[in-house]
């Protein structure tokens, strides 16, 4: 009877170790995967477009805005003089 109790106790402990190993593997996988960053481009009439930062920085102007110490560097760039249809074409 004590061997059955030991086997049951060992099984629970093994499951706990397996859970910890799986959690550690998931965390390591997440660290290896690059974080995808987005930038929000906002038109003068209030429409917002979320685009990959990697794509947005193809524009030298947007790259400069994101590299600055201004509010635009926080990930939201507002184009007050550009309407939604024009900004939509730019994003495409």
In this structure, of 8-17, 24-33, 50-59, the range with the lowest mean pLDDT score is 8-17
Name the domain count of the chain: 2
The CB density around residue 25, as the number of other CB atoms within 10 Å, is: 10
Domain CATH code at residue 56: 3.30.710.10
pLDDT digits (tens, 9 = 90+) for 55-76: 999 999 888 888 887 776 678 8
Query: Domain limits at 71?
Result: 38-91
Q: Kindly state whether residues 11 and 44 are assigned to the same domain.
A: no
pLDDT of residue 18: 67
Query: Cα separations (Å) of 54 from 1, 19, 41, 63?
Result: 63, 36, 13, 10
Question: Residues 84, 89, 91, 92: what is their CA dihedral angle, to the nearest 10 degrees?
Answer: 140
Check if the beta carbon of residue 77 is closer than 8 Å to that of residue 40: yes
Rounded CA-CA distance 27/19 in Å is: 12
pLDDT digits (tens, 9 = 90+) for 29-59: 556 666 779 999 999 999 999 999 999 999 9
pLDDT higher for 27 or 40?
40
Q: Kindly state whether residues 80 and 61 are assigned to the same domain.
A: yes
Q: Kindly state whether residues 15 and 44 are assigned to the same domain.
A: no
pLDDT of residue 74: 79
pTM: 0.58
């Amino acid at each position: 009877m004590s061997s059955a109790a030991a086997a049951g106790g060992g099984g629970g402990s093994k499951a706990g170790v397996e859970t910890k190993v799986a959690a550690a593997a998931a965390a390591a996988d997440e660290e290896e995967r690059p974080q995808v960053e987005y930038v929000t481009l906002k038109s003068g009439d209030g429409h917002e477009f979320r685009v990959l930062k990697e794509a947005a920085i193809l524009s030298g102007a947007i790259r400069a805005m994101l590299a600055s110490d201004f509010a635009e560097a926080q990930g939201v760039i507002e184009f007050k003089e550009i309407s939604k249809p024009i900004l939509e074409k730019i994003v495409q």
